[in-house]
Structure 1
Amino acid sequence: DGYQRSQPLPSSTPGLSATPAGTPQLPISSGLSPSPSPTAGSQAAASYPIPTDRDSIVKLQIFLDLHTFSPGEINGRWSDLCANALQKYQSANDQSGTGQISERLQQEFAKLTPYTSYQARAEDLQWVGKSPLNPAAQARLKKLPYPSLIDFVAERFHTNKDFLRSLNPRRNLGKLRPGDTLQVPNVTPFQIESIKPAEDTAPKPQFGGRSIKIDTKRKSLDLIEGEKVIASFPITPGSKQLPAPVGTWKIVKISFFPFFRWDRAMLLHGKRSGDYHNIPPGPRNEVGIAWVGLNKKGIGIHGTNNPDAIGRTASHGCIRLTNWDVARLALAVTQEAKVDIF
């Protein structure tokens, strides 16, 4: 799949191993193997309310993210996306999906350190640059980079610029430069530089037993192995004008750093025209850094140029995830996998 990992992974239950954010990591473990999860037999009867203070919410969001039950952006605010991720995690780990915090879960996420530091590097600037908004002008570029260094750092640590500003109130993040150090969420970083462009990746037969279920009402995508949910991600599932196509489909293509065919007629009405622009790849390409194409023309699961909007706004018939989540998903599935949209 074009990726290499510098250290072996755990091999027990699904998710990501909890690694300090300063440690070099790829966007995902393709085996989706996490640190051990609390089990049903270890659950105490006591339950705790959802935390209300920022740092405790961040810890719980990080815990879910590390186990590939993504809450979306790490931002210290509880939301429907977080509640859905918690219920999915509990149900997948033989716990009642009540959304309440068990004593064991409280102990697990309380151990986490919510923040770490990141020093911006000169090589980060290769992912930063100015891009026009006009599709015709974009099509003349070689890539669509992040508009600023703080955008790069925000996506790297699964968060947004506003939250980074709240963590670093004394720093002008609009003037962030290589060598500057700032506080960031202590998640496994999304290392965009580790992703190699690929028109279509080689099949991964070891993932032949995996499938995807997409719930357009709950705005969630579940990755299934056998009968077990091993990961879940928040999504934006189409719009009223162009809803995500309900039915059973299959994956036919998995691309990294795809071009995007910008066609107004396709975006508005779902029909291709001869008036289009080929938008170059990059994190601010409209389909983000990965495309998981389905056997329905023009429809796929993909990333985004606006992670703040995931789970909250509409797309053009496709299934949209954050770039860090779609990278994890695209590495963990293979062609011919079944995709149920309902």
Structure 2
Amino acid sequence: MVTRVGPLRLGRLPAFTASTTLISVDPAAVALPFDTNTPSASVARLQVLLDRAGASPGVIDGLDGGNLRSALAAFESMHGLNVDGKIGSQVIDAIDDPKQVIGSYVITGEDISVVVGAIPKDYAQMAQMKYLGYATVTEGLAERFHMGEDFLKALNPNARYGEGETIFVADLGVNKTGKAVRLEVDKTQGQVRAYAADDSLLVAYPATIGSETNPSPSGTHTVKTVALNPEYTYNPKINFQQGNNNSVLTLPPGPNGPVGTVWIDLSEPTFGIHGTPEPSRIDKTGSHRCVRLTNWDAEELAKLLTKDVLVEFM
């Protein structure tokens, strides 16, 4: 459970800590581009608020970038605003929340138990493991709270990450609920969007959608099944060549498996929407034809889907 602490307001700060002095909203200032290299309290707050609204920015890291701008555009669409992916007074009025965005969390034994140490890159070695859990406690905690691992560490510079220790984390709110009747997979925007029966936008997620050498399919398909914590079957004759592995391998489940914690199987054979072991690389590197989301976004999406939901590739 996250315990809330003092809020961080939209504003520009040279450094980010959980105890930063509050900054009031200045629409003229926040309409300007943010620094893409230095974490900002303004960006972090905006990312948390977008995450709460169902317009996922992907990893919460305090950094501006394409995923943040796409999330802003999705939020604008949800609220009937001019869709330009920019921050202005209307966006601030619609998204601002008096609730704080950083809270405290007490590390549990479960957080420790899912740590398995370094994960090998070779699939044959991965197949020998029982569970592809987290390499470190900080990796697991960062993913639990939708954060970049470096950002979590910056918030907690003196933490030892032991059981019973209290740390600062993003205060995310609750997952979106409802039922999606169709999905749009937008290759240009690098985004997956889910729509309700009244055609309102339920959620939007940053996504890696195929690559130049392994493009995703086109046209309209449907959802066949949804599998949580799936095993992964590697078949070089069907999938792709990984290292020197020429045999079929069954890899155990876990967040660091090739498809993360969710597999959403589509009517296109061998193709699906799934999680990833590397959330910070979503929409920054290609995939083997499939659609990759962060594990937390894939898990939320899975709860909104039923069999035969339409999936349109834009």
- TM-score, normalization by structure 2: 0.82
Aligned-pair CA distance for 1:225: 1.4
Q: Separation in 2 of the partners of 1:220 and 1:169?
A: 33
Q: Separation in 2 of the partners of 1:124 and 1:141?
A: 19
Q: Deviations for 1:201-235, whole angstroms, at most 9, x for unmatched residues?
A: xxxxx83x610000112110010113221110000
Q: Aligned AA for 2:114?
A: W
Which residue number in structure 1 is paired with residue 165 of structure 2?
180
> Which of 315, 331, 334 lines up with 2:287 in the alignment?
315
Which residue number in structure 2 is paired with residue 290 of structure 1?
262
Q: Aligned AA for 1:65?
A: D
Matches for 1:151-230 after TM superposition, within 5 Å: 151-171=139-159, 175-188=160-173, 207=179, 210-226=181-197, 227-230=199-202
Which residue number in structure 2 is paired with residue 97 of structure 1?
83
Q: Deviations for 1:165-208, whole angstroms, at most 9, x for unmatched residues?
A: 2112233xxx5221222211222489xxxxxxxxxxxxxxx83x
The alignment partner of 2:48 has SS state of helix
Q: Separation in 2 of the partners of 1:132 and 1:231?
A: 34
Q: Aligned AA for 2:41?
A: D
Q: Separation in 2 of the partners of 1:80 and 1:51?
A: 11
The structure-2 alpha-carbon separation of the partners of 1:61 and 1:50, relative to structure 1 and needing over 3 Å to count, comes to: farther
Does residue 332 of the first structure (1) align with residue 304 of the second (2)?
yes
Q: Aligned AA for 1:136?
A: A
Aligned-pair CA distance for 1:281: 0.5
Does residue 81 of the first structure (1) align with residue 81 of the second (2)?
no
Which residue number in structure 2 is paired with residue 41 of structure 1?
none
Q: Deviations for 1:100-124, whole angstroms, at most 9, x for unmatched residues?
A: 3343542442634231112211122
Q: Separation in 1 of the partners of 2:121 and 2:102?
A: 34
Q: Separation in 1 of the partners of 2:182 and 2:80?
A: 20
Following TM superposition, where does structure 1 have runs of at least 4 consecutive aligned residues deviating by more than 2 angstroms? 20-23, 50-53, 98-112, 130-134, 263-269
Note the aligned Cα RMSD (angstroms). 2.5
Which residue number in structure 2 is paired with residue 14 of structure 1?
none
Q: Separation in 1 of the partners of 2:210 and 2:84?
A: 28
Identity of aligned residues (%): 29
Count of residue correspondences: 280
Which residue number in structure 1 is paired with residue 132 of structure 2?
144
The alignment partner of 2:240 has SS state of helix
Q: Separation in 2 of the partners of 1:236 and 1:119?
A: 33
Greater displacement, 146-155 / 225-234: 225-234
Greater displacement, 309-318 / 178-187: 178-187
Which residue number in structure 2 is paired with residue 114 of structure 1?
101
Cα pair 1:128 1:145 within 8 Å, conserved = yes
The alignment partner of 1:268 has SS state of coil
Aligned-pair CA distance for 1:147: 0.8
The structure-2 alpha-carbon separation of the partners of 1:222 and 1:76, relative to structure 1 and needing over 3 Å to count, comes to: same
Which residue number in structure 1 is paired with residue 31 of structure 2?
49
- TM-score, normalization by structure 1: 0.76
Which residue number in structure 2 is paired with residue 129 of structure 1?
116
Is there any run of 5+ residues in structure 2 with no aligned partner, and where? 5-26
Cα pair 2:49 2:101 within 8 Å, conserved = no
The alignment partner of 1:132 has SS state of coil
The alignment partner of 1:264 has SS state of coil
Aligned-pair CA distance for 1:51: 7.2
The structure-2 alpha-carbon separation of the partners of 1:152 and 1:188, relative to structure 1 and needing over 3 Å to count, comes to: farther
The alignment partner of 2:283 has SS state of coil
Q: Deviations for 1:271-309, whole angstroms, at most 9, x for unmatched residues?
A: xx9821110101111101111100111100000111111
